[in-house]
Amino acid sequence: MAHGSKKAVVTAIVANAVVTVLKFLTAFAGGSPSMMNEAVHSLMDTLNQGFLLRGLTEADRPADQHCAFGHVQKKYLWNLWSAIGLFSIGAGLGLAHAWHAWHNLNLANEAALVELFGIFFDPLGLALIVLGIAFLIEGYSFIVALKEFILAMRRDGLSNPFSYLLKSKDPTLIAVVLEDSVAMLGLAFAVSGIGLTALTGNALWDVGFSALIAVMLGGIAFYLGMVNMRFLADMRDKSAEAAFVRVVRRHTEVERYHDLRSIILDENNTVLIAEIELREEAIVPGLHALIDQHVEKMMQQIPAHRQALPEVKRYLDARAAVQGTLARTEQIIGELEVSLQKVAPQVTHITIEVKGITGDVIL
């Protein structure tokens, strides 16, 4: 499991759950469209991050008879469902509430004091207090997610955060960072809408900024949906394939490769398959000693009175040739796998098939 992603997700769940309750209480007490849409926004964030956590938990399950490479891609399904489902619902509810608030602008009365927990508050003051508390709580969650994001970016050798948003192989961490970023922006929109309405007396400001918050939710749903669909569409790991090419070209006994393909399962697991041809002048001379070793080892298992029989000698030569060739090709494949995983540790499943030995037969 991506522990950095899990830490960011759990922190975000706790922070957003607390903020959601505060925002809904304030929205129902004061009637602000912006605050209501911020409450819906925080609710969708909380539910979404619950989906992300479920995805991380599912991805941590080992391989079994149903999932040969493990369950790692299930987190992309949970991410996709949360992005398209929850955020789309949140955007729809937010726009519907903004429309309803706009439709009833002429029916709005001048705000009176509101009661919360037996205490009377001015609606504007209550909203600003709650938004200030939300800023502190969600700001902490944002800092935790941003730190994990920067650590992951540096591990991948990149320095541009905006570029890494497009290149990262961890959409769970991307989702948390974007959600927390948009949450901070949503708070700014809510403060702007409520503040401008208080200054001008025109509730249209509050309605307009509430609609912007809903539109942001829709934008996040669209972007996160695209990010997760990339990994569910057999996305190739170009960096792993390039590393394999470099490893093959450095190996003295491999002539060429064919049919190189890869699939990213998640940010820590890539499947790579390829075919190779071995170089005759490099591999054949060394086989003689290996074949002789196999003949000698098998000869020790045969009774002395049968060792000189021609048919026994032919059988031992043939079997030793097969075993020696297989052992040498397996050794070469093992060398390629070890070299590849040193430079591309995300390649956890490797299948290399030897298609033949190149070179002209010279007698």
The 10s digit of each residue's pLDDT in 93-147 is 778 777 877 777 654 444 454 555 555 556 666 777 888 888 898 888 889 888 8
Using DSSP's 3-state secondary structure scheme, residue 269 falls into strand
- Residue 152 and residue 167 in one domain: yes
* Mean pLDDT of the chain, nearest integer: 79
Selected residue with higher pLDDT from 23 and 363: 23
What is the C-alpha separation between 182 and 213, in angstroms, rounded? 9
- Residue 145 and residue 8 in one domain: yes
- Residue 189 and residue 309 in one domain: no
CATH number of the domain where residue 8 is located = 1.20.1510
Residue 322 has pLDDT above 70, yes or no: yes
237: nearest Cα among 264, 265, 199, 205: 264
Mean pLDDT in residue range 310-339: 83
Domain final residue, candidates 180, 204, 231: 231
- Residue 12 and residue 161 in one domain: yes
> Are the CB atoms for 243 and 340 separated by under 8 Å?
yes
Using DSSP's 3-state secondary structure scheme, residue 1 falls into coil
| Structural tokens at position 152 | 């992951």
What is the C-alpha separation between 234 and 115, in angstroms, rounded? 55
The answer to whether residue 299 sits within a structural domain is yes
- Residue 224 and residue 246 in one domain: no
- Altogether, the residues listed in the chain come to a count of 363
With tokens 């003949």, the residue in question is 295
- Residue 194 and residue 265 in one domain: no
269: nearest Cα among 214, 295, 224, 231: 231
| Structural tokens at position 250 | 């450095």
- Residue 211 and residue 253 in one domain: no
Number of domains observed in the structure of the chain:
2
Please write the tens of the pLDDT for every residue from 6-55.
788 888 888 888 888 888 888 777 667 777 777 877 888 788 888 888 88
- Residue 220 and residue 289 in one domain: no
Which residues fall within 8 angstroms of residue 135, CB to CB, at 6 or more apart?
184, 187
Give residue 302's pLDDT: 79
- Residue 329 and residue 353 in one domain: yes
pLDDT band at 362 (very low <50, low <70, confident <90, very high): very low
The answer to whether residue 363 sits within a structural domain is no
- Residue 219 and residue 243 in one domain: no
- Residue 32 and residue 163 in one domain: yes
What is the C-alpha separation between 91 and 347, in angstroms, rounded? 39
Domain final residue, candidates 194, 211, 231: 231
Domain final residue, candidates 216, 231, 246: 231
What is the C-alpha separation between 102 and 144, in angstroms, rounded? 37
Give the domain extent around 210.
3-231
Selected residue with higher pLDDT from 326 and 307: 326
The answer to whether residue 82 sits within a structural domain is yes
> Are the CB atoms for 4 and 148 separated by under 8 Å?
yes
Cβ neighbourhood burial of 321 (10 Å; 0-12, 13-18, 19+):
middle
Maximum CA pair distance of the chain? 113
The answer to whether residue 262 sits within a structural domain is yes
With tokens 């029916």, the residue in question is 107
- Residue 52 and residue 148 in one domain: yes
